Structure 1
Amino acid sequence: MLLRDLIRLSLGSLVDQRMRSFLTVLGIAVGIASVVLLTSIGEGVRRFMLSEFTQFGTNLVSINPGRTTTVGVSGAIINNIRPLSIADEEALRRIAGVIDTIAVVQGNAPVEWEKRSRHTTILGVGPTAAAVFKIDVARGRFLPVDDQRAPRAYVALGSTVATELFRETSPLGKIVRIGGERYRVIGIMESKGQMLGFDLDDAVYIPTVRAMSLFNLDSLMEIDLLYQAGLESRTVADQARRLLSARHGAEDFTITTQEEMLDVLGSVLNIITLSVGGLGAISLLVGGVGILTIMTIAVTERTPEVGLLRAIGAGRGQILLLFIGEAVVLAAIGGLCGLVIGAGGAWLLGALVPSLPTHTPWLFALYAELLAAAIGLLAGVLPARHAAGLDPIEALRAE
């Protein structure tokens, strides 16, 4: 039997049994579409989370008070022997390769102007915070360079706070009360959006020492180091660790590099992506069982045809290729349909729900398509071997 005859017989059988072929293709298509759609959502969430973490740049090192085994975050409980101080920040700024440092304190307090009041986040930072955090000033200016131990009572407002308190009035030069203390507004920040649920626009920025006094703190909550591009974060972190250990007499602080946070986050999100892809693969497995069932039925129905082919000289290998070819073609067609449906569904979902990020990982889609073909091959092997092993006389007698 020639190859073209095998192809013609395979395609002819699929066309003759349209409904059976359609149902088989549908089973595989649903599985592939599930894999592509779920991995698109997982990959979209992964990229969104990474972009949220890197919007402040990747060359940052954070230092938090207290020796912990977990990642320190702004607002950590201060329970170390010696607190982080402004003097520590000034010493860290002199490390080779460090461009800027920020001493950070965070809390919540009401911000009042005339009869309006808004309870919001108060960030105590230094004059370099806007540059380090990549927050632009829309109007006015950011906190000026002052004596860090006795800074003037200036405040820069986030865009949301400025809009809610002043509406159409220009806030620049106005006096607001923060926790009962008077501050002069000197700047309005551009909209930055949210970072992992923290609204950067619904915040105000005041000098660090004044924030420590406002919240009655004797330690900074965090010191951030911005280092030169090209330097290894581990090198900067080691220098900071040696310097602070010498100043404090012990390593009573936690240093976290941006790379460490991104590595941990990336690993977690990759597991999530693989997990949701595995859920879709279950549907794909169900489609494979469907192919196995339908091909087994096909062998039973076409027993006389197999006997005739064997009687006119078709070898066992050719019968095997005939049935395996049908299974692979069904799986491949189903895979392509599922790929189109899954990618189209991911695009449509992203268009209808912009807050839900989606991104189709084409490598995963290729793996899913190859897996569909492999499932078709495996599901077709047993029925094909059974067909190839039929005795020609017995097969013809089944007519």
Structure 2
Amino acid sequence: MRYADLISLSYRTVISHKLRSSLTALGLIIGIAAVIILTSIGRGIHTFVLAEFTQFGTNLASVFPGKKTTFGLSGATISTVRPLSLADAASLGKLENIINVVPLVQGNARIEADNKQRRSNVLGVGSAVPEVWKLKTASGHFLPAGEQSNPRPLAVLGNKLAVELFGTASPLGKRIRIGSDRYRVIGVMEKKGQMLGFDMDDTIYIPAAKALELFDRESLMQIDLLYKSNTPIATVQQDIKRLLVARHGEEDFTIVTQNQMLEAMDSILNILTMAVAALGSISLLVGSVGILTIMTIAVSERISEIGLLRAVGAERRIIFQLFLGEALMLSMAGGLAGVLAGILVVQISRVLLPALPVELAWAYIAAAFAVSLLIGLVAGVAPAMKAARLEPLEALRTE
């Protein structure tokens, strides 16, 4: 018997039992669709998080107070022999491969303007924020340079904070109160949105020295450095370490590069995507049990047909290939339907839930379809072998 005839016969057998074939393939359809949906969400989150991390650029390094074996986090306060100071930031800015630096102090305070007030994020920074963090001002200008030793009470508002305090009126030149001090607004930032849950628009920027006074701190929380893109990061780290050890007398700080954070996040998110794929694959196991059960039942129902085929000269391998082909046909139909259903659900979710980050993971889609074919192959072997072993006379006698 030719392979074309085997395929045709397997197809007609599957089609002749539409309801049973549909219910058998349903497990695979749900399993494949679940894998596609879950991996699309996982891949979407993966892309979203990495995009959030890289929106400030990739040639960034940060210095945190305290010696830690893991990378530091903004806002961490750790007892050190000598705190990170504005003088440290100024010295780092003079290194050969460093383009600019941003000292950072972060906190939360009540902002008052006329008869309005609002609690907001306060970032004590330097004048290089637009260059280092890739931010732009919508009106006015950012904090001027040279505000370390004797800083003036100047402030730049995030877009959302400016609207909350001043509405449609221009805040430039207006006076606001932060804590017990009055500041003059000199700029408003462009809309930036959120960065890993931190609303950059609901933020106010003041000189780092004023923030140290406001929050009664001695140490900067971190120093961000923008280095030349053609410089090896190892060289940058060595230069930073050499300078700070010379200033502090010991290595009481931690250097973290953007690439290190991206690599760590990438590995974590890849594990997350594989985990959700494994979760969705549980449904595929249910589908394999369904195919095994239905094919076993089909062999029992068609013993006389098998006997007739054997009596007219069909070899055992032909019977084996026939039933194995039916199992593969079921798994292929379920796999294709599952792929189409999963892609359809993902596309619909993009329209109905635009805030949900989803991205089709084609590698996982191809893998899921291949697994569905493998399931059909494995689940169909035992029933096909059982059918092939039947003796012609015994099979015909069951008629």
User: Where on the TM-score scale, by shorter chain, does this alignment land: which range?
Assistant: over 0.9
Q: Which residue of 2 aligns with 1:97?
A: 97
Q: Which residue of 2 aligns with 1:343?
A: 343
Q: Give distance in 1, aligned partners of 2:185 and 2:62.
A: 29
Give the letter aligned to residue 168 of structure 2: E
Q: Which residue of 2 aligns with 1:310?
A: 310
Give the letter aligned to residue 243 of structure 1: L
The correspondence of residues 293-332 of structure 1 with structure 2, limited to 5 A, is 293-332=293-332
Q: What do the CA deviations read for 1:223-263 (whole angstroms, capped 9, x no partner)?
A: 01101113232321122112111211111011111111111
The correspondence of residues 54-69 of structure 1 with structure 2, limited to 5 A, is 54-69=54-69
Q: Give distance in 1, aligned partners of 2:232 and 2:304.
A: 72
Q: Which residue of 1 aligns with 2:209?
A: 209
Q: Which residue of 1 aligns with 2:281?
A: 281
Q: Give distance in 2, aligned partners of 1:237 and 1:351.
A: 45
Structure 2 unmatched runs, 5+: none
Shift of 1:87: 1.4
Q: What do the CA deviations read for 1:160-183 (whole angstroms, capped 9, x no partner)?
A: 110000012210010111112111
The correspondence of residues 1-399 of structure 1 with structure 2, limited to 5 A, is 1-399=1-399
SS at match of 2:231: coil
Q: Give distance in 1, aligned partners of 2:72 and 2:304.
A: 73
Q: Give distance in 2, aligned partners of 1:369 and 1:260.
A: 35
Q: Give distance in 1, aligned partners of 2:381 and 2:194.
A: 54
Give the letter aligned to residue 162 of structure 1: A
Give the letter aligned to residue 95 of structure 1: L
Deviates more, 1:239-248 or 1:273-282: 239-248
Give the letter aligned to residue 15 of structure 1: I
Structure 1 unmatched runs, 5+: none
Q: What do the CA deviations read for 1:71-112 (whole angstroms, capped 9, x no partner)?
A: 212211131010111111121112222111111111111111
Q: Give distance in 2, aligned partners of 1:375 and 1:90.
A: 63
Q: Is the 8 A contact 2:27 2:286 kept in 1?
A: yes
Give the letter aligned to residue 271 of structure 1: I
Give the letter aligned to residue 144 of structure 1: P
Q: Give distance in 1, aligned partners of 2:357 and 2:195.
A: 15
SS at match of 2:290: helix
SS at match of 1:63: strand
SS at match of 1:20: helix
Q: Is the 8 A contact 1:172 1:187 kept in 2?
A: yes
SS at match of 1:104: strand
Shift of 1:282: 0.3
SS at match of 1:138: strand
SS at match of 1:76: coil
Shift of 1:147: 4.0
Shift of 1:3: 2.5
Aligned residues: 399
Q: Give distance in 1, aligned partners of 2:157 and 2:289.
A: 61
Deviates more, 1:107-116 or 1:370-379: 107-116
Q: Is the 8 A contact 1:40 1:361 kept in 2?
A: yes
Give the letter aligned to residue 107 of structure 1: G
Q: Is the 8 A contact 1:124 1:208 kept in 2?
A: yes
Q: Is the 8 A contact 2:31 2:284 kept in 1?
A: yes
Q: What do the CA deviations read for 1:45-67 (whole angstroms, capped 9, x no partner)?
A: 11111111111111110101011
Give the letter aligned to residue 162 of structure 2: A
Shift of 1:153: 1.6
Give the letter aligned to residue 219 of structure 1: S
Q: Give distance in 2, aligned partners of 1:349 and 1:138.
A: 34
Give the letter aligned to residue 138 of structure 1: A
Q: Give distance in 1, aligned partners of 2:4 and 2:81.
A: 83
Q: Give distance in 1, aligned partners of 2:334 and 2:30.
A: 8
Q: Give distance in 1, aligned partners of 2:203 and 2:87.
A: 26
**Percent of residue pairs bearing the same amino acid type:** 52
Q: Is the 8 A contact 1:172 1:185 kept in 2?
A: yes
Give the letter aligned to residue 106 of structure 2: Q
Q: Is the 8 A contact 1:146 1:152 kept in 2?
A: no
Shift of 1:347: 1.6
Q: Give distance in 2, aligned partners of 1:75 and 1:130.
A: 21
Report runs of 4+ in structure 1 exceeding 4 Å deviation: none
Give the letter aligned to residue 194 of structure 1: Q
Shift of 1:145: 1.5
Q: Give distance in 1, aligned partners of 2:390 and 2:119.
A: 81
Q: Give distance in 2, aligned partners of 1:116 and 1:271.
A: 47
Q: Give distance in 2, aligned partners of 1:344 and 1:102.
A: 46
Q: Give distance in 2, aligned partners of 1:353 and 1:159.
A: 26
TM superposition score normalised by structure 2: 0.98
